[in-house]
Amino acid sequence: MGQRSAPPRSAGGAAVDTENYRSIWMYLKEVAFTQGFTDIEVHGAVVPTRYAEAGLRDKPHLVLLHGTGGHWETFAPNLGTLSEHFHCVAIDMVGNGFSGKPDYDYEIAVYREHVLKVMDYFGMDKAHFIGMSLGAWVSAAIAVSHPDRVSRMILMSPAGKEAVASNMARIRAERTKAVNEPTWESLYAVFEHLIADEANRLPDLIGLRRAIYERADTRETIDHLLILQDAAARERNLIPEEQWRSITAPVMVVASGRDLGVYQDTATAIAELIPGAEIFDMPGVRHWPHFEDPESFNPAAVAFLAK
């Protein structure tokens, strides 16, 4: 009798569900999309900008923005469904992912300039936005300063309203350690705060983030990336309450029930400040609701953006 082999294990030691195997490519295998790089001048420097584009260009435009230190693959489980209805562009924002990392601090005005110029490159006079964490902050900042360029917004795990010292210190410590020691274990620790269910912390994600953090330009610019975790810098970049109230674009705020308290508090607060904002509750997820539960997020996003 042959010896039964042990089941394959995930990065954290959990058994891999081989009947329902998931990976970044399994989400994208039937999606017609293009990945590329284009040079965008941001704050006086040329930034090679990595992007994924999906959906016909004659459909309503949709810009997708990741969180701190992220990359466009966070939207892999969403791109297929969303691109059936929208012309989607997901980018690695300046200083993040595999995009260029110029030698200056990446504050909100820098991110905003980058995103607006990406919109210009793709011929988007106006677009919907889906932003997560830092991406939600940048989306809201664009809605405040350039309301004519924003149609509707979905804000997930939003930042940009308040500064919590303990959370900023945690992010700085986790990311600095991961860049200085880009081991599988240190990168896995980052995702424990991003994704609630260990089965959703796909090895692809760990590998991609490790590849980013092993890059020389990431190590050289990590302080520029983490500038918004410094108290003084964060304070000067926060969106004041009166500006949240000034947002005229329809907004859906995603409330992630298992996220850290600061993000839940911010989601509740800005939903009350933005006129007419809707709340979409996702109680079982953490910081990446769209990635953890695309079966719930995708139809809700399409329904809201298509109104």
Residue 23 lies inside a defined structural domain of this protein: no
Residue 4 lies inside a defined structural domain of this protein: no
Residue 21 lies inside a defined structural domain of this protein: no
pLDDT attached to residue 129: 99
pLDDT attached to residue 192: 92
Residue 108 lies inside a defined structural domain of this protein: yes
Which pTM value belongs to this model?
Answer: 0.94
Residue 78: HSE in the Cβ half-sphere, 13 Å Cα cutoff: 32
Residue 231 lies inside a defined structural domain of this protein: no
Residue 196 lies inside a defined structural domain of this protein: no
Which CATH number fits the domain that encloses residue 97? 3.40.50.1820
pLDDT attached to residue 19: 81
Residue 11 lies inside a defined structural domain of this protein: no
How many domains does one find in the chain? 1
Domain that holds residue 276: 31-163+239-306
Per-residue pLDDT of the chain (307 residues; tens, 9 = 90+): 445 444 455 555 556 777 888 899 999 999 999 999 999 999 999 999 999 999 999 999 999 999 999 999 999 999 999 999 999 999 999 999 999 999 999 999 999 999 999 999 999 999 999 999 999 999 999 999 999 999 999 999 999 998 899 999 999 999 999 999 999 999 998 999 899 999 999 999 999 999 999 999 999 999 999 999 999 999 999 999 999 999 999 999 999 999 988 899 999 999 999 999 999 999 999 999 999 999 999 999 999 999 9
pLDDT attached to residue 20: 80
Residue 17 lies inside a defined structural domain of this protein: no
Question: Sign (positive/negative) of CA torsion 93, 99, 102, 104?
Answer: positive
